[in-house]
Amino acid sequence: MTYCELMLDFFAPMNFTLKIIRKILWILGIQFEIPNKIAKISRFVNSPFITVLYSAIRYFKRKQTKKISYKQVFEISNKLKDGNDGLRVAEFYRDPLIINWMLKYKWTIEKETLETADSNYYFSEIRDIFQFIALKVYSSDRKEYRGFLVFSISIINLDSVLKILDYHFLNHEDHRYIALLAMKYAQKFKATRIEMPEDLILSIKDIPLINLFLRKKTRIYLFRPKNNNSPLVISSDKIYLNYCDGDTPFT
């Protein structure tokens, strides 16, 4: 499965230097974990650089964002209204019940809540910050419901990533707002990378020099059919992989 990363930390001076040092040491067989204090200093030093980049991108698209409004919610609607971005024939479908379950029961926990958490999964991961952000999107006058989208923000040491997870809009053209809304929250949390489904890249391709920060990446998914007549075998050449397949939304 192919997806994309918007890597705004690629030219951030301190991040870039530390990652090069860590890469060289890794090649030499030396495992080096960047201390928390240095990571915090790096985030502080790079913060103005990242803020300027996000501000420039959002300014270029400022006219689009005026056409919608939105509000942050704790859960999405249990029923999806029919739209023109219908389901593909062969895919692993995530319905609203699954998404709301994910929003309520996080696998990944924050360091500050580690001592008080009493219902963690045994495979929980720890982050400095980990949050889900669910938005309901409306027309600019808030009279027309347009759709929803869900982000996650994860910060640990030098890695601060916002992921564009589930989304559903009544009109496929409204997908052009998703990356822009993601950048607003990425700027708020000083995220240095945004991961997104490949389909959403077209909405920001017209931004000058954006290709300098875009990278295509791939994930490999493995499956083992129970028998030769299983649904996986029958549909194996038709399966469409989504960005949220696997554990991606939870971590």
CA pair distance 230, 97, nearest whole angstrom: 26
Name the residue among 73, 83, 182 with its Cα closest to residue 136: 73
Show pLDDT as tens, one digit a residue, over the chain (251 residues): 899 999 887 666 666 677 778 778 888 888 777 777 777 777 777 777 788 888 888 888 777 777 899 999 999 987 666 544 455 567 888 889 999 999 998 888 887 777 655 556 666 688 888 999 999 999 998 889 999 999 999 988 777 899 999 999 999 899 999 999 999 999 888 888 999 999 898 888 888 888 888 999 999 988 888 898 888 888 888 888 889 998 889 88
Q: Which long-range contacts (CB under 8 A, 24 or more apart) does 136-139 make?
A: 136/70, 136/71, 136/73, 136/76, 136/77, 137/68, 137/69, 137/70, 137/169, 137/174, 137/177, 137/181, 138/68, 138/69, 138/70, 138/71, 139/67, 139/68, 139/69
- Indicate yes or no: pTM above 0.95: no
Would you give the DSSP letter of residue 67?
A: T
**How many other CB atoms sit within 10 Å of the CB of residue 181?**
19
Q: Where are the domains of the chain?
A: 2-8+64-250
- What's the burial of 168, exposed, middle or buried (CB within 10 Å: 0-12/13-18/19+)? middle
Q: Which fold has domain 2-8+64-250?
A: Aminopeptidase (3.40.630)
Nearest alpha-carbon partner for 194 in 173, 176, 217? 217
Determine the pLDDT at residue 194: 94
Check residue 196 and give its pLDDT: 94
Task: Name the region of 69 (left: φ>0; alpha: ψ -120 to 50; beta: rest).
Answer: beta
Structure tokens at 116: 């008080």
Strand duo 109-110 + 126-127: pairing: parallel
CA distance 214 to 195: 10
* Count of other CB atoms within 10 angstroms of residue 120: 16
